[in-house]
Structure 1
């Protein structure tokens, strides 16, 4: 039996690929084992290329975010985007996708993790550093991270045009 997270991830990749193909781009799944890219994208003549890493979730948990790791703080490329996809609570919920440039993701993860480390734990203790990160739609819910409160991700919601422009510019 295939793990539910594997199937969910595949569904997310195919959803994003479908949206790109609908917009006239050439999109294909990257070969298995490519570390920082799930989908490669180009225009119709193969002149421009960009990449997408897809992060998929269901509406579970309290923070509404996506799992990330420390390595994502350093992965910055002008033609690399993250597609943060939320399939919602049920099969009738419309998917929501945020297309965010890698530089924004790296900066947000780095700053939010530093803020988390510098704040005390639930019992006042120092926090221990880990490789685990969360990319959140509202960092105000988890503490003192300034600048990424409720609604900060909205400017990236369904911004397929930004990816299309990058792939065809």
Structure 2
């Protein structure tokens, strides 16, 4: 029987796992000072740079959780480029490897804010008002998209093992191209979809659907 990993140990392990993965991909990476409130790891490869926030859970739990700051923001000093969250899911079995989700921080921020807004504006089970001062922000890595804050197994799928996301100045089309590749589409097909009149959100949702084998009927 494997011994459960204490939460503090899991957090430390997650950071070292990410350091190892970066190093084996040619990045020079280092942990930031422990009192750094924004980032956990800074990484450089040639002229590429990434500031990384690591969030770790073990397979004994299904959720990733953050705490908002007094001003309601979750991520301090967030930038639109070169700022990433690496979510680490450590298996309970010591001989198994973690799963990694490499997600631009603004994407995580949008998810958390959207879910919290929906939660706080929806009455509780007894009709009571929700606490707008609640600082917990979380989502569940499961496939039950019918519940608020759930269904993130599908949302995270395109980002699983996507270390390519760390490339410098990777603009929106680069990220869409990665999603298209994981969904089995060529770049030409991606361009055709973009020309079909889909907005950015519809295009991303379609690519995620293709990746999960859900939406196979829409043709470029």
TM-score by length of 2: 0.64
Report if aligned partners of 2:38, 2:76 keep a CA contact under 8 Å in 1.
no
C-alpha deviation, 1:103, in angstroms: 0.8
TM-score by length of 1: 0.82
Q: Which residue of 2 is the match for residue 98 of structure 1? A: 101
Report if aligned partners of 1:8, 1:57 keep a CA contact under 8 Å in 2.
yes
- Structure 2: stretches of 5+ with no match in the other structure: 172-220
C-alpha deviation, 1:121, in angstroms: 1.7
Q: Secondary structure at the match of 2:125?
A: coil
Cα deviations by residue, 1:36-90 (Å, 9 ceiling, x for unpaired): 111100114xx442211100001234xx221112232665311110011111233
C-alpha deviation, 1:123, in angstroms: 2.4
For residues 169 and 42 of structure 2, the distance between their equivalents in structure 1, rounded to whole angstroms, comes to: 10
Among 67, 70, 88, the alignment partner of 1:69 is 67
- CA 1:168/1:150 → structure 2, altered by over 3 Å: closer, same or farther? closer
Which of structure 1's runs of 4+ aligned residues deviate more than 4 A?
none
Q: Which stretch of structure 1 is more off in the superposition, 70-79 or 30-39?
A: 70-79
Q: Which stretch of structure 1 is more off in the superposition, 126-135 or 3-12?
A: 3-12
Q: Which residue of 2 is the match for residue 50 of structure 1? A: 50
For residues 32 and 152 of structure 2, the distance between their equivalents in structure 1, rounded to whole angstroms, comes to: 33
Q: Which residue of 2 is the match for residue 6 of structure 1? A: 8
Cα deviations by residue, 1:5-53 (Å, 9 ceiling, x for unpaired): 2211110000001000000010111112111111100114xx4422111
Q: Which residue of 2 is the match for residue 25 of structure 1? A: 27
Q: Which residue of 1 is the match for residue 147 of structure 2? A: 142
Answer with 1 or 2: which has the greater Rg. 2
Higher RCO structure (Cα 8 Å, ≥6 apart):
1
For residues 106 and 170 of structure 2, the distance between their equivalents in structure 1, rounded to whole angstroms, comes to: 20
- Structure 1: stretches of 5+ with no match in the other structure: none
